[in-house]
Amino acid sequence: MTDHELSRPDSSMGLEQEQSRLLRKALQRSGVRHGDLWLRYFSIGGTVGEYEVDAYIQSLFSLPAGQRDLLAHAANELIDELPPLPRAPYLQDLA
């Protein structure tokens, strides 16, 4: 992948900013680490390096739309795999 392709401005820069900001927020809220995100993204076919992905999460770097969606997908897979919050037991459950 060439630098030109990586940094080509999207027709809608605002959307990319929004996408990376909300990804950042999702990672913060779920506690998914950037390294783990990159590994999953790489595992599902991502082609951009860890350093660039990290910069994208900080909204400092532009990625092609396809890679952004793949990154979002990797994040969502990891978030879906997180253990659910503990539920309160009913008396019956304890008996």
For the CB of residue 38, give the shortest distance to another protein in the complex, in Å: 8
For the CB of residue 95, give the shortest distance to another protein in the complex, in Å: 30
Task: Give 80 or 93: the residue with its C-beta nearer to another protein.
Answer: 80
Residue reference for tokens 């978030």? 79
Other CB atoms within 10 Å distance of the CB of residue 26? 16
Binding region for another protein (CB under 8 A): 1, 5, 39, 42-50, 66, 69-70, 73, 76-77, 80
Task: Give 83 or 89: the residue with its C-beta nearer to another protein.
Answer: 83
Tokens (6 digits) for 52: 């660039």
Q: Are 50 and 35 in contact (CB under 8 A)?
A: yes
Task: Give 31 or 49: the residue with its C-beta nearer to another protein.
Answer: 49
Q: Where do runs of H (alpha helix) occur along the chain?
A: 3-7, 13-30, 34-43, 50-57, 65-81, 91-94
For the CB of residue 9, give the shortest distance to another protein in the complex, in Å: 19
